[in-house]
Structure 1
């Protein structure tokens, strides 16, 4: 356990030192600022109410989980694997007395923590902006649903990250992984629209999983089904990614 913790701390320190993490935070905060300015402008210019104190965080979440967060999750995942492959720094990492499984798990955990940190920052700042600029009252139930929506959004983002990690262990070039990831993302988005009856099987549609927790009827069957699909997909992607990582020669 101590060895894994040391490997995890090392991965987190590498992630913090990279500019991609900082840019992701700044862009995420920029979405909040621009979104709130837009709402204030609409409200003052057209007399509309705009988004409420709880509605605004959900608006931010719907935008970020389909744009900025997948993009920077891809960049961080690619940099953690393909970047180290191309720079030959992975060979140095493997010389340490740490098994490949622990190194792989530490990298995945660092990516998960990155996604979680972005979601929590977005939640905190979007709720602050919502309460400051939109003073309408919010019920405890709506607040709880908002917080829960941000938390459950972690799972589909992790599955997406595992898919990108798998690609990073298939292709040598980080650029190739990036463009293939974008292509697959777009194709899955289109397939989710064309074959809407099977949309729950596509990870791009699963990014909106949090919407199931917002409806009053609370569709437990759909929630459990999508949860099991994501867990199964995550296990398969993690296993395939580690298999390729373990077989690589550096």
Structure 2
């Protein structure tokens, strides 16, 4: 456990030094500000209620879950795997006392922390703007739970990118293929709605199941099991490729 903790701290330190972190925070901040300006302008000057009966925080979460969250997650995952193999910096990590399993776990934990941090930043900002736009927040507990639920499908996408990064030859191919897979899954959910529930991309907004007057616990649990199955398979496949990859 101490070795995993040391690897995790090392990976978090490396992430903190990446310019992409600062860029992602700036873009997330700007996206929430722009969304707030648009909603405020439409509400006060055009008389159009953009958010309707829902909260501004939920609207922002829905937009970012299909755009910036997956994009920034893909960047970080590719940098931590395909990027380090491409520039051979992975040698310094793998030649240390930590096993490949510990290194892999440390990297995955760091990615999970990055995703959670993005969600927390957006949640705090959107809550503040909700107070300004709506004068208050109805059902704050449900909104907090929504942001917690949003973590899992984004994390599953991260494991997908990790898998792709471990068999790709470079960062560009890993990024292009990750985007291709994401678009294919989204396209399949639209073209074949009968299989939509089995595609993890269709669960990016599964938190909406708790926002209505009726909460379908059975459906939520079924989606959770599907996502858990994706996570176990992707984690195992990603680690297998990571273990077999030459440095």
Q: Distance in 2 between matches of 1:49 and 1:29?
A: 22
Deviations 1:19-55 (A, max 9, x none): 1111111111111100111111112222334447961
Q: How many residues align?
A: 247
Report matched runs for 1:206-221 at 5 Å: 206-221=203-218
Q: Distance in 2 between matches of 1:73 and 1:44?
A: 35
Structure 1 unaligned spans of 5+: none
Q: Distance in 2 between matches of 1:50 and 1:170?
A: 43
2:165 to 165, 168, 175: 168
The runs of 4+ residues in structure 1 deviating greater than 2 Å are 47-54
Deviations 1:194-231 (A, max 9, x none): 11121111121111111111122211111111100100
TM-score by length of 2: 0.96
Q: Is the 8 A contact 1:155 1:230 kept in 2?
A: yes
RMSD: 1.4
Structure 2 unaligned spans of 5+: none
Q: Distance in 2 between matches of 1:100 and 1:167?
A: 18
2:119 equivalent in structure 1: 119
Q: 1:54 to 1:9 in 2, by over 3 A?
A: farther
1:193 equivalent in structure 2: 190
1:68 equivalent in structure 2: 68
Report matched runs for 1:81-92 at 5 Å: 81-92=81-92
